[in-house]
Amino acid sequence: MSILHAIILGAVQGASEFLPISSSGHLVIFQQFMNVNLEAGPMVAFDVCLHLGTLVAVVAALRKDVWIIIKGLFDPSFSTEETEGGFCTLLSRKAFLLVILGTIPAVIIGFSFKDFFEELFSSTLAAGVALLITGSILFATRWAKSCSLKLARMKWFHAVIVGCAQALAIFPGISRSGSTISAGMFCTLDRSLAAKFSFLLSIPAIAGAAVLQYKNLAYLSANHILPVIIGTVVAAIVGYVCVKWIIALMRGNKFSMFAYYCWAVGLGVVIWSVLR
């Protein structure tokens, strides 16, 4: 793998992890298009490092909310007010429990169908079809009801619904952020809350996936180190910018615009996969 490949894949991972366009689907597509010549072990290890870069990005971008949750869990005297789509100390335990609850569906489905999903990661056709589905989900948010539900009124079943959407996003081409934010909007969560809850759910999801695949890091040799470091840094920087952008974008009603991109890329990949 060249440094240029690492930069491109790092940027793709950083952007597609948080933009509603599917990181897994784009990595499958770009690795196929660029004909990245790495064996399975080093390639998985590289993907793990890219995901760690996006983990750093989301924690850094949401550091205030993450700090409030952690501080509120262990220091009842800590005081702050709830902001738009944000978290206050009194609701820190609730936010923490909702994130844990929303993570459970992905854990169950991920472990139950692990081999099935791993086979799909080599199929560009499957990724293309899934991107078309992602586009349809995003477009449907245009008809989401008034999104005004704050964290104080968020219920456990809202977290389960969003968590189930995250579980479906294990399928390459189904966007994790797209499906979870859309599910939050369909549950009438405040738009900023839907985005922040989606990104908070990504923290245990990304960390858990990295832990499960950490053994593959042993496949990295000295020749891989520089591209891996550069790709990881690029993923972190691009991911940070994209998290901030999506949260700002959610204040308007433009989330569905990503549907056109997913449809265009998905259709192009499907045609390419059938004709090649």
Answer whether 15's CB lies under 8 Å from 238's CB. Answer: yes
In 3D space, the residue among 254, 261, 243, 263 whose CA is nearest the CA of residue 197 turns out to be: 243
Cα–Cα dist 121/129, whole Å: 13
Q: Give me the domain span that covers residue 91.
A: 3-275
Q: Where are the beta strands (DSSP E) in the chain?
A: none
Q: How confident is the model over 138-167, as pLDDT tens digits?
A: 999 998 877 888 888 899 999 999 999 999
Q: How many domains does the chain have?
A: 1
Quote the pLDDT of residue 40: 57
Percent of the chain clearing pLDDT 90 (strictly above): 45
Residue 220, SS3 per DSSP: coil
Q: How confident is the model over 210-259, as pLDDT tens digits?
A: 887 777 677 677 777 898 899 999 999 999 999 999 999 998 778 999 99
Quote the pLDDT of residue 112: 78
Cα–Cα dist 206/176, whole Å: 11
Cα–Cα dist 24/117, whole Å: 11
Quote the pLDDT of residue 196: 93
Cα–Cα dist 85/241, whole Å: 19
Quote the pLDDT of residue 166: 94
Mean pLDDT by groups of 10 residues along the chain of 276 residues: 86 92 78 63 78 95 88 65 54 86 91 66 81 95 86 92 93 91 95 93 89 73 83 96 94 88 94 88
Cα–Cα dist 59/259, whole Å: 27
Residue 245, SS3 per DSSP: helix
DSSP letter assigned to residue 174? S
